[in-house]
Amino acid sequence: MKSIFTLFIAFLTVTTFAQKDFQGKAIYMSKTTMDMSSFGGRGGGQMTEARKKEIADRMKSILEKTFILSFDKTSSIYKQDEQLASPTAGGGSGFMAMMAGSSVEYKNTKDLIALEETEFFGKKFLVSDKMETPKWELGSETKQIGNYTCFKATLMQDADPTDWTNMRRRGNDEDKKGEAKKDSSNVVKVSEEFERPEQIEVVAWYTPQIPVNNGPGEHWGLPGLILEINSGRTTILCTEIILNPSEKEVIEAPSKGKEITREKYNETVKTKMEEMRQNFQGGRGSRGRN
């Protein structure tokens, strides 16, 4: 009886994905943890637990988001759920404003086209990426996510130089100095106070039951839809899948914004972040001289 049921499910799966106008929608929850030791300047003393909680609460709208992946057999659109998106906590200036812009990420895994329509400090960009097939290491470990059996895959990749969530304070006590020394071959100095890993491990869980070469954000390249990603301090987990929804979205490449390569865009972001850091330190130094 069980084998008959399995064959029936397999038949439905093949039939579903054989449809010419097949489309699916996956809902993902993204959550990023923060290293609270990164807050507070050198020599400024320990931050109180109450202050840490206040900062964490203000950052919640940035660190916890809901995204929608609309996909067909070869292409996808990934963007934040507009209904659940909220104004950035803490006002519209400084660092918070930098993170406030939303984005639309498009991938075509057949033609190897990746574009991101994004906003940074009030300016719109159309960022193009090189799409090279990721060198995933496929494992045999499995786990269940909802109704889908998922397989594990791992990948070492260069850390995004603009991803501030992976930055950490450089050690200023003996234990942290030892840790920093041990990891010195795999970290990049960002400033006198901060560093970031040079590479990070990405762990993906994909299901062959949905045989599309796609996943959330920039992630793709596995023989099945990626339902979970663990990368650095960020976890992206699929909470709902709808195959052939009644209301289908037009999946097409975005076209708005100044055209720029990913490399040039990262340089722009890093330059602005450095300007902000220097302005912040200059303001803090001025206050200290008064």
Domain ranges of the chain: 22-281
pLDDT digits 0-9 by tens, 130-149: 899 999 999 999 999 999 99
- Cα 261 to Cα 122: distance, rounded to the nearest angstrom: 18
State pLDDT tens for residues 33-92: 876 655 554 444 566 778 777 777 777 777 889 999 999 999 999 999 877 655 544 444
Q: 229 and 219 in contact (C-beta within 8 Å)?
A: yes
Q: Find, among 4, 56, 69, 66, the residue nearest to 29 by Cα.
A: 66
Please state, in angstroms and rounded to a whole number, the distance separating the CA atoms of residues 32 and 99. 14
Across 34-45, b (16+ Cβ under 10 Å) vs e yields eeeeeebeeeee
pLDDT score of 23? 96
pLDDT score of 94: 45
- Are 30 and 234 in contact by the 8 Å Cβ rule? The answer is yes
In total, the chain counts a number of residues equal to 290
Q: Is 248 exposed, middle or buried (0-12, 13-18, 19+ CB in 10 A)?
A: middle
Neighbours of 78 (CB within 10 A): 23
CB atoms within 10 A of CB 17: 16
**For residue 40, what pLDDT is reported?**
54
Q: What pLDDT is attached to residue 13?
A: 52
Please tell me the predicted confidence (pLDDT) of residue 240: 97
Spans in the chain with pLDDT lower than 70: 1-19, 35-47, 84-101, 164, 166-185, 188-194, 196, 280-290
Cα distance between residue 237 and residue 226, in whole Å: 9
